[in-house]
């Protein structure tokens, strides 16, 4: 199966000025992205969206927001975490001297048999996750939220995709884990990377599996009056 993604449009860096603080009925020339993910940055560039990073401060416990609650369903988990990240990002912006603009937040998780597979804590953890996914289907859920420049959250979106892994030999999984790519990735793999060789079929959004569903992202950014 062949999957194609448009080449990213690289935008030059820009310096924010007070002229970026537009009137309420105007459009905004950029959005704040509250994510360190290079994949989400790449996907925003693909849409032609200008963005500035709005990352957690050193005194923020960003990992605590991703803690799973007992008995929590994957869909409830990813939506809750996304909402918590949106609240934290907006509070970060309000207490800064940065110009007003909408804030974009996303969170991705992988689920199999109703269990949430987060980011692996070790090589053994990554290998265990991948062995669990090999030869079967799993879900990739990405929740997306935009807080407009007035601080009001827009209706969140949820992208749900099904990924089928083909059979994968144990030594192939071990080599993949040794490459280092699984770390920092929900479910211990990156579909746009070397793990693409494991993927037999997808049903859903390729960009959503990468971490930022572009159809839903474009709709929310337009609703927030972001120009692109």
Residue 192, domain CATH: 3.90.950.10
Number of domains in the chain: 1
pLDDT value, residue 61: 81
What the block records as the tokens of 93 is 């912006």
> Domain containing 193: what range?
29-223
Question: Rounded to two decimals, what is the model's pTM?
Answer: 0.84
Strand partners, 153: 147
Evaluate whether residue 200 is within a structural domain. yes
Q: Please give the radius of gyration of the chain, using alpha carbons only, rounded to the nearest integer.
A: 18
Evaluate whether residue 154 is within a structural domain. yes
What the block records as the tokens of 208 is 């959503």
List C-alpha distances in Å: 43 to 21, 79, 125, 134: 25, 20, 28, 27
**Could you report how far apart the first and last alpha carbons of the chain are, in Å?**
31
Count CB-CB contacts under 10 A for residue 115.
12
pLDDT value, residue 24: 53
Q: Which residues are catalytic?
A: 107
Evaluate whether residue 12 is within a structural domain. no
Q: Return d(Cα 217, Cα 180) in angstroms, integer.
A: 29
Cβ atoms of 9 and 45 closer than 8 Å = yes
Tell me the three state secondary structure of residue 226. strand
pLDDT value, residue 25: 62
pLDDT value, residue 23: 45
Evaluate whether residue 2 is within a structural domain. no
- Write down how long the chain is: 228
Cβ atoms of 158 and 141 closer than 8 Å = yes
List C-alpha distances in Å: 221 to 103, 145, 188: 9, 10, 29
pLDDT value, residue 7: 36
Evaluate whether residue 11 is within a structural domain. no
Evaluate whether residue 17 is within a structural domain. no
Residue-level pLDDT, tens digit, the chain, 228 residues: 333 333 333 333 333 333 344 445 679 999 999 999 999 999 999 999 999 999 988 888 877 888 999 999 999 999 999 999 999 999 999 889 899 999 999 999 999 999 999 999 999 999 999 999 999 999 999 999 999 888 888 878 999 999 999 999 999 999 999 999 999 999 999 999 999 999 999 999 999 999 999 999 999 999 999 999
Evaluate whether residue 4 is within a structural domain. no
Evaluate whether residue 19 is within a structural domain. no
Q: In the chain, at which residue ranges do the beta strands (DSSP E only) sit?
A: 31-33, 51-53, 103-112, 115-117, 137-147, 157-165, 199-203
């Amino acid at each position: 199966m062949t999957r194609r993604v448009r080449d990213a449009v690289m935008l030059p860096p820009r310096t924010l000025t007070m002229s970026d603080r537009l009137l309420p009925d105007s459009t905004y020339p950029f959005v704040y992205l509250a994510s360190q993910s290079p994949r989400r940055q790449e996907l925003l560039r693909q849409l032609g969206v200008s963005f500035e990073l709005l990352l957690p401060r050193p005194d923020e416990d960003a990992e605590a927001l991703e803690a799973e609650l007992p008995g929590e369903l994957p869909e409830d988990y990813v939506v809750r975490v996304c909402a918590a990240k949106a609240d934290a990002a907006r509070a970060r912006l309000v207490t800064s001297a940065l110009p007003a603009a909408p804030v974009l937040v996303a969170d991705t998780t992988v689920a199999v048999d109703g269990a949430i597979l987060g980011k692996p804590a070790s090589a053994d953890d990554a290998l265990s996750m991948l062995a669990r996914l090999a030869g079967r289907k799993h879900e990739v859920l990405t929740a997306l939220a935009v807080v407009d420049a007035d601080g009001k959250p827009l209706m969140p979106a949820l992208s749900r995709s099904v990924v089928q892994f083909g059979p994968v030999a144990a030594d192939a999984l071990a080599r993949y884990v040794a490459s280092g790519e699984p770390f920092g990735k929900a479910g211990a793999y990156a579909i746009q990377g070397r793990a693409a060789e494991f993927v037999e079929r997808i049903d859903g959004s390729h960009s959503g599996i990468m971490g930022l569903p572009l159809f839903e992202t474009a709709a929310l950014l337009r609703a927030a009056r972001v120009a692109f």
